[in-house]
Each structure stands twice: as C-alpha cells, then as structure tokens.
Structure 1
C-alpha cells in the first residue's frame, strides 16, 4: 500500500501531511503544532519551507472566510487549450445521458494526444468526482482510441 496522506492529532488540534515524490504539503488547525512537526522533520530531512501554498499538484487554494477552497480551474483551462477546446460551450453533464454514442471504428490520428488528455483529465476527478464516469469511459479506450472516443 502506498500511503501519501498522513494525519496527526494532539488534543483538539490536527495536522495533515501530504507527500508526493519529494514535495510535502503540511497544514493544520494549530500553527504551533505545525511548526513543532516541521522542526522535528527538519532534524531528519532537508526541508525548505516555501510558505503558504497557492498551487500544488494542479490544485490551487483560494482562501475563504471559513477555510480554503480547492480549485483546479487553471488546470481545466490548460487542458481545454491543449485539446483546442478553449472556446467551446459548457454542458451540464460531461457525457450524454440520453443519446447513445455511434461507434466509429476509424482510429484517432494522434493516440498520444488522446492518452495525454485522458491522463490529464484523471487529475481533475480529485476535485470534480462528477467527471469520474466520463473520464473512466475515455480511459477504457486508451490502447486504441477511435474518432468517436
């Protein structure tokens, strides 16, 4: 099992530690406890504090009155530009719920681009679980995507 999210509590205070390769994100309800844990970690590891984070693994944080909002708006816009769809109109659902897709057996001319976009879309499901079904449908065809996919 590959654990990347850790939780530490002391009384009513809690701290979350997210580890991704060589990046660590730490936040908590008690700044003194966070500082204390960073100090302990720095005795064993070389740590560089980059201050408050604004963008981490494609997720942007926006401060609100009652906490933080996690947003992937910037990543979504980048994906749309990469796909040449930045000017497309929005839909209320990412996949048709009433029409069946006509299967075209003509292979997509750039399967590498298809795989890249499908992979990028997987990251959006972190903050947009409503996209999971549609992204799963795309990922099932990464080995041989067709024009209809």
Structure 2
C-alpha cells in the first residue's frame, strides 16, 4: 500500500467500534493482524467491513423513553430438546418498560430431571443476568 497510515487509522477506529459491536470483533482482529505491513487485499477487507457497517446502520435495538419502567422477564424451556445429551434448550428475554435489554437462548449446561427443574434453571439464569 502507498500509505499504510490510513490503513492503521481505519483499523484502529474499527477496534474501538468492537466495544459496542462485538459481532465484528473477529473480522476486525483479522484485519489488525496486518497493520505492520498492509497490502491491497487487506485494504479491500477494511472496505468490505465498512460497507457492511454502512448497510446495517439502522439495525439494532432501539431504546425509547417509556413509562412505566418496570423490569419484566419472560422465560421458556424445551425439556429435553437434545436426544443425545438430554440437555434442555432454554431462553429468556428481559424488558425495561417496552425496551428489550437482554436475551439469551442456549443449551443448559446440566441435565434436568424434569421440565420443572429445567424451568427453574432458566429462571435462575435470567434473574442472575438481569441484575
């Protein structure tokens, strides 16, 4: 590249963006591996990242001022969803007023012996992550 300073500047700015947009952390890290000697394919990678970000600028969670500001959590579980491991899939969403502030969906780490136990585990997980 004729001017590697521009590459380093853009890659550095993208590194700061990964604090709030963690889903691009891997690809930005791959681009930063070449900061010492960037080439044209690396510059093209930065351009592709920037084009992706430009196309998704309106995506994301919107937070609006609402009333009331009560904290509400909804949970769900599928017991046992995996026939091999017998582990349940559980999920939760947490709202502050009308704003979605947290969510998760994953296999539970341990095997539950009943649907009630699986639901208890997801409630504990949702409460622990919400506060």
**Shared fold, TM over 0.5:** no
Higher helix share: 2
For CA contacts below 8 A with separation 6 or more, give which structure has more relative contact order: 2
Give the number of the structure whose alpha-carbon radius of gyration is greater: 2
TM-score w.r.t. structure 1 length?
Answer: 0.28
TM-score w.r.t. structure 2 length?
Answer: 0.32
